[in-house]
A and B are shown apart, each in its own frame.
Chain A
Amino acid sequence: MTRGNLTRRGLLRTGAVVTGAGLALPTIFTSRASAFTNDPTGDTVTLGFNVPQTGPYADEGADELRAFQLAVEHLNGEGDGGMLNTFSSKALQGNGIRGKKVAYVTGDTQTKSDAARASAQSMIQKDGAIMISGGSSSGVAVAVQGLCQEAGVIFMAGLTHSNDTTGKDKKANGFRHFFNAYMSGAALAPVLAKNYGTDRRAYHLTADYTWGWTQQESIQAATEALGWTTVNNVLTPLAETDFSAYITPVLQSGADVLVLNHYGGNMVNSLTQAVQFGLRDKVVNGKNFEIVVPLYSELMAKGAGDNIKGIFGSTNWSWTLQDEGTKAFVKSFGTKYGFPPSNAAQTCYAQTLLYADAVERAGSFAPCDVGAALEGFEFDGLGNGPTLYRAADHQCFKDVLVMKGKEDPANEFDNLELVEVTPRAQVEYAPDHPMFAGGELGACNNGA
């Protein structure tokens, strides 16, 4: 049992000792000497690839990782060079970045902000990573982007489609090559109007989280501008796997289009169930009932199988494009792994090259210099046609692809066909557009 009691004096004394020790310790030793975080002083430079290896987006993560590995090979002058040969900027020599061999570390985001940040922190603090890339969910991308801003390293976003990443949560140290929900809406709406008419009544099922909301908001605004009406928007929980209860009321609502603002497993399930319910065979208001999936991915299309036939959606890029950059990339990816890359893989590959190229052009690894080199950078040859990295919000502007589920796929990878390449001008918006307002880049941070 206890001997004596907790005395005020005793407590004060310990408190003072502990605080004193805490205050004194860090000042004993010298602080970091370099001008920015993780200045690569040796003959290698380390990049951190933070992708989901477990959880609902593990497939996307695996494909991203393949693309990163390929990009590192090409940067180090191994393999056939891929898109380095078609890239409009010729600063990269295939001898690493600024003569330093590129090394990389990988981490698992688990599609959770906390885990992703822990993994990124360990890359920065322990492995000395100078740039972090990856992510397969907008929540994670926004979280890691915030961390990189604070730590003073560059974040090259991978697969993240929410408006917020370069909207209200944009950061000076973060850059996004992938397109966003607004662009999906702007590209998709005219195609929908052309194919389904301008007098349509849409019913939305939306994944109940940040990405779902911005996606729904974007597509609703874009379709309503062309004359559609929105009957209803129902939020579905992210963990939902059975959508039958949500699909039944659709037919009674008088709607003749169902928009599924779902991604990944959600989309595979909701689409499959909607098709099984026979929605697409119905005739409502004298028109055929249609289903739309605003954001497509090859891996989801594969999961949904035959159900995606004839359904419209948008993607950032497709391996079926015929430009030189795409052909070079698909060739080297296919040679190494035996199947074509997804659009998540392409954006990650392009981001790695863009980062390396910016370092070369800036002549420095310092994040602020690299950021300045990326801002306003115009390039071509990375598969998306002429592209601009806009300085105002660090978003890439390029053509957007409208795709349709293929009726007669030649093989398991050939499940989407190109309907239209929406020109860049049609998907551009002002940096202070209401859907993107509220955030600020702030000042770039070199860290340390």
Chain B
Amino acid sequence: MLGLDRKDFTLVLIIALVALLAPFLLNFWPTESGMAQFNAGYPALMQRFAIYGIFAIGFNILFGLTGYLSFGHAAFLGVGSYSAVWMFKLLSMNVLPGIFLAIIVSGLFALVIGYVSLRRSGIYFSILTLAFAQMSFNLAYSVLTPLTNGETGLQTTLNDPRILGASRTAEGGIPVPSLFGLEMNATSIWKIGGWEFQFNVGYYFAAALMVLTFYLSIRLFRSPFGLMLRAIKTNQTRMSYTGLSSRPYTLAAFVISGMYAGLAGALLACMDPLAGAERMQWTASGEVVIMSILGGAGTLLGPILGAGVIKYLENIFSKINEGVLHGWFDFLPEVVKEPLVWLFARFTGEGWSLTLGLIFMIVVIFLPGGLMEGARRIGDLFRKRGKPSDDDKEHHPKPAAHVAE
């Protein structure tokens, strides 16, 4: 189906199904219960799952296939956001022109940066991309303020021209990004029992694009072009000795992955029309690297999984403050409660990144292939013992590839 074999098609189908049912799947607990704070099924977070999923899928095309570790991918995310917001300001609040421009601009941007950076490989490539991204960040933060609105971030205002749309709505507010009138922040709520399910237009739009980009990435993984990229990862020197110039391939991969990032950036702006410079900071670039490695670099599903885990920790764990912890352990005597709260408080609330760090270390040390390797190992337990799962080689092009290699 659609140029995929049955296995891959099932994978796309599962992703699509999960995306479709996410509002149910992510709302594990009833709204009024004490566990409700673990629910992730609210529009803003679901949108982030989908958008950062796209970002990670794109990053994986470069890092997972060619092994080139870009430490500056957030620059393309930021450029995409700025382009989209400028379209909202100048043209109309329809999301399509914004997304279109974002992909084009970030692609061009990636072409320039990639052309320079790809002259080197390994650590030098990483440092070059990092330098470019930091440069972009600093430009956006202060030098290019007329274009980016500096630290405050670029926002839509009532006085924007919006040639094809309205500067302001009939009620006198700023119009909301929409897809031909379908507003991105429109949400339908379905209350059943104690549960409350939110169905958000923006989320489904982002999710549809994520499924589409996932499909494209599978096609790319399975194509001769993808094979060539994998050859570059395996042994670039040998490739050049056979007389093959690898640079056009790596550059193409770099540009494609930059365009994915641009799309993700544009979607961020569509869901919430603001583009801030910190979106380009090195921490944001590092985040996507961690997403890919955590989930499993070079696998198809891994990066999406990694993006989900990180965004969940960032948005849910960071909300568990000491007050909430006190509520949890209230039944315990004071002597036990205080140390316990103190201990948990290190790992939740503002300490969420510590939890992330621990998970990351555990994964890198014990599951070099990321969470996908964990899933595979569990899968193996249920299959015949001793028989390695060799039916799915392409998910693990290099079974024990350590991230540091």
Contact = CB atoms under 8 A, between A and B. Distances in A.
Contacts of B176: 150
A286 interface: no
A184 to B, nearest CB: 19
A2 B142 contact: no
B185 A442 contact: no
Interface string B167-190: 010011110100000100111111
A238 interface: yes
Interface string A96-112: 00000000011110001
Interface residues on A, range: 35 or more
Contact of A25 (B155, B159, B189, B204): B204
Most buried by B among A1, A113, A238: A113
Interface string B135-156: 0001001100100011111010
A245 interface: no
A180 B212 CA distance: 48
Contact of B153 (A106, A113, A125): A113
A23 interface: yes
Contacts of A146: 155, 274
Interface in A61-118: 105-108, 112-115, 117-118
Contacts of A14: 2, 215
Contact of B190 (A29, A122, A142): A29
Nearest to B223: A2
A113 B212 CA distance: 29
A112 to B, nearest CB: 4
A425 interface: no
Contacts of B182: 23, 26
Nearest to B149: A210
Most buried by A among B20, B142, B158: B142
A114 B275 CA distance: 8
B370 interface: no
Interface string A126-156: 1000000000011100110011011100000
B258 to A, nearest CB: 20
Given A2-B3, A443-B173, A21 B142 contact: no
26 contacts: A2-B3, A6-B219, A10-B1, A21-B20, A21-B204, A26-B200, A26-B201, A26-B204, A30-B189, A31-B188, A58-B350, A105-B319, A113-B152, A114-B278, A118-B48, A122-B315, A137-B151, A142-B155, A143-B274, A146-B155, A151-B185, A209-B141, A209-B150, A440-B159, A442-B172, A443-B171
Shortest beta-carbon contacts, A-B, top 6: A443-B172, A121-B44, A113-B276, A209-B151, A29-B188, A139-B151
Given A125-B198, A440-B157, 10 more contacts: A2-B222, A21-B204, A29-B199, A115-B278, A126-B45, A143-B152, A143-B153, A208-B141, A235-B142, A238-B141
